[in-house]
Chains A and B, each alone.
Chain A
């Protein structure tokens, strides 16, 4: 028998790996492969590139479901996973990279057994949203009706808390071949060997020399996804010409007893949001012009806090002026605050501290891949779409992708389909593409609508916001959509 065949047989190929290997896989927990690189590719059913929330959820879901737990899976992550695994910050500190998780995402994470591994002490649910127009002051208050009071709209959570929880769950499940700290050198199609024709299979060459052939290659590798580029799937969109400034804040008060509130004010430069974290902490997401963002990150703590407080209180004109001040924003705010009227009960508590080193800024874009699937390729999360953070949907869209892709894979496995071929993957693309496109469109239009400072649009959008506020059922619908628990509109 030729060496290729021998090698392949020895490795027990297959979608549904033989019982000997399954046993072996159960025994090895997460195995960190270090042996030397062979020239013949190792055969996997699923190779996931990218160990972020989307990639880790995908592997966790595949490993935790009996139908898919026999698949031979690998994770390739260019960074070391150890820091994420051991994620912990001293109690009063929080990472500045937070995301809101909808109840739908949390339910999914719970079903795959990951939610119980997330440190709940660091997760903050909120039950109310205050959203208002910075120019006209028109406001929409998202409060649940009496019967549903206390229902969670979303959970604020540090991304690292989620990924470390997912890694702990994966450790518990075992059976994933993890290649961490390994960069993808090249992805090319396989070759036609004597016993086996891998010309239709992507083969991933790691910089370390190892080669992995994938029945299904999943790109969970972020905005600039190398997997997407390999598969020739285009990605369209635009830059908003805005940067998002994030920071972990300390507030004057803990907040109301009957639940926490998320605040968002639409300013002509972009929305500014303050989202609750446990205790008197909150996380800031302020999207604004790049030059303003750059300046904000250079301010001293006192002046930065003054700018944040001003962003929720002063008029856009005052705020614009303060953006241009080199320093002493704190004094300026004290003076201007006296001459501005605002409803203290409907704005966030004053910021009294900023966690050291937590101020950061990143460019905002909209990107949408032309399709999420190719032959033996599927894209999930940011590799498929990047959305404006104003609705807090980015990470949840990724979780939705993963849930749908795993459902598609499960159906394919139980019906004997090759999980990698385009036809098997079609239901995933059909289910997610239109849904994500709609959501991205709505979020994009909201951003553009509120970027207008004057003219007829301002009273019109205020009228719209007031009308929505007055219409209970419509508001309830919007809240259910935000929470991801409403009726699917697509």
Chain B
């Protein structure tokens, strides 16, 4: 087996992650593909899910239901700025766009100028492209690319950078989250945001996402989640705030209540699903 040397900086920032994640340690020593952020088993898992991505009553229903909250969260991030962002022509980069649930929705907003959405799975991206053809309003605003972040040419100027880089339900599927986040940095405009949502690594999230959602009720396909890869909010905060040129971290905990849908619950970021946003220094 090839061993990949870990960089010192990553080690320093990942020590919290590694402490309780034995699977993760193994992943560190797996052979690296050409797109290092992407895990091949994850890609094939989502390939298999591609056909049900846009079925509102299918396995992605929870994601569809969560989507409006993503917009609420981005609005909250923007509202926290001392000077509000432009109300038009915002540029979005959606990484791990999947079937395009978020990418399509953000492209529809009046304040959005353009959306670039990328995903490493060709099958999933084909679904996304096919679905976008069904909405004439998306033409010219939304571009899908079958690539990982490593395959994307880094912006050469501020004009090419993005106002918002989104990583929704992505980071928990990434093999090397710290390096991955570092590779995202050049894409974000000074004063722009990285927004993400993921799941805290707690007994509660293990119970709800693995045991209940996947095994007992089956609302989420088995194997969707890898609990060992879940990341806590303070780990993300620590990663960004340690001499990295980021400020104003924002967090919003959400809980799925059957019959009511996703609800914002203060402090629930400590237990389960949460949104995290951080602003790049101007």
User: A422-B56, A423-B56 are known contacts. Are A416 and B133 too (CB-CB below 8 A)?
Assistant: no
Question: Which A residues, 433 to 471, have Cβ-Cβ distances below 8 Å to chain B?
Answer: none
Interface presence of B32 (CB below 8 A): no
Closest Cβ–Cβ distance, residue A254 to chain B (whole Å)? 53
Min CB–CB distance A243 → chain B (angstroms) = 43
User: Does residue A200 face the partner (Cβ distance < 8 Å to B)?
Assistant: yes
The answer on a CB contact under 8 Å between A415 and B68 is: yes
Residues B56 and A417 in contact, CB atoms below 8 Å apart: no
A197 within 8 Å of B (CB atoms): yes
Interface residues in chain A, defined as those with a beta carbon under 8 Å from any beta carbon in chain B: 8-9, 13-16, 43, 70, 195-201, 215, 411, 413-418, 421-423
Q: Are A417 and B68 in contact (CB under 8 A)?
A: yes
Complex CA gap A8/B133 in Å reads 13
What are some 27 contacts across the A-B interface (CB < 8 A)? A8-B136, A8-B139, A9-B139, A13-B136, A15-B108, A16-B108, A16-B110, A195-B133, A196-B134, A197-B133, A198-B134, A199-B134, A215-B137, A411-B68, A413-B108, A415-B68, A415-B71, A415-B72, A416-B105, A416-B107, A416-B109, A417-B105, A418-B104, A418-B135, A422-B56, A423-B56, A423-B65
Question: What residues on A are CB-neighbors of B106 within 8 Å?
Answer: 416
Cα A55 to Cα B56 with chains together (Å)? 28
Tell whether, in the assembled complex, residue B67 and residue A415 are in contact, meaning their CB atoms are under 8 Å apart. yes
Instruction: Let me know if B137 and A16 touch, CB within 8 A.
Output: yes
Beyond A16-B108, A423-B64, 20 additional contacts (C-beta under 8 Å) are A13-B137, A15-B135, A15-B137, A16-B110, A70-B110, A195-B133, A196-B133, A196-B134, A196-B139, A198-B134, A198-B136, A199-B134, A215-B137, A416-B67, A416-B106, A416-B107, A416-B109, A417-B108, A418-B135, A423-B65
Interface band, chain B: 20 to 34
- Distance, CA A14 to CA B109, complexed state (A): 11
Q: How many Å from the CB of B84 to the closest CB on chain A? A: 16
Provide the bound-state CA to CA distance between A200 and B55, in Å.
Answer: 13
Residue of A nearest to B72 (CB): A415
With A13-B139, A411-B68, A421-B56 as contacts: A197 and B130 at CB distance below 8 Å: yes
Chain A residues within an 8 Å CB radius of B135: 15, 418
Task: Evaluate contact between B67 and A417: CB separation under 8 angstroms.
Answer: yes
B56–A416 touching, CB < 8 Å = no
Taking a contact as CB atoms closer than 8 A, the residue among A8, A195, A198, A418 that contacts B108 in the complex is A418
Q: B105's closest neighbor in chain A, by CB? A: A416
In the bound complex, residues from chain A placing their C-beta under 8 Å from that of B139 are 8-9, 13-14, 195-196
Of B72, B107, B108, B134, the contact of A200 (CB 8 Å cutoff):
B134
Please indicate the chain A residues that have their CB under 8 angstroms from the CB of B64 in the complex: 423
Closest to A22 in B: B110
Bitwise, B218-253 to A at CB < 8 A (1) or not (0) is 000000000000000000000000000000000000
How far apart sit A9 and B137, CA to CA, in the bound complex (Å)?
10
Query: Considering only CB atoms, which chain B residue lies closest to A417 in the complex?
Result: B105
| Chain B proximity of A27: nearest CB distance (Å) | 20
Q: Which residue of A lies closest to B109 (CB)?
A: A416
Residue of A nearest to B132 (CB): A197
Q: Count chain A CB atoms within 10 A of each CB in B56, B68, B108, B109 and give the residue with the most.
A: B108
Q: Tell me the bound Cα distance from A411 to B108 in angstroms.
A: 13
* B72 / chain A contacts, CB cutoff of 8 Å: 415
User: Which of A8, A215, A416 lies in contact with B71, CB distance below 8 A?
Assistant: A416
Evaluate whether A416 and B134 lie within 8 angstroms (CB atoms) in the complex, with A195-B139, A423-B56 already known: no
Most buried by A among B67, B106, B109, B137: B137
With both beta carbons as reference points, the residue of chain B lying nearest to A67 in the complex is identified as B110
Most buried by A among B71, B134, B136: B136
Cβ < 8 Å to A, chain B residues 64-81:
64-65, 67-68, 71-72
Query: Contacts of A70 on B, CB cut-off 8 Å?
Result: 110
| CB proximity of A117 to chain B, nearest CB, Å | 28
Closest to A415 in B: B68
Beyond A16-B110, A70-B110, A197-B130, is A415–B105 a contact (Cβ under 8 Å)? yes
Q: A70-B110, A423-B56 are in contact. Are A416 and B104 (CB under 8 A)?
A: yes
Contacts of A413 in B (CB 8 A): 108
Report how far A282 CA is from B28 CA in the complex, Å. 84
The chain B residue sitting closest to A200, CB to CB, is B134
Distance in angstroms between the alpha carbons of A424 and B261 in the assembled complex:
13
Bound-state CA distance A197–B129 (Å) is 11
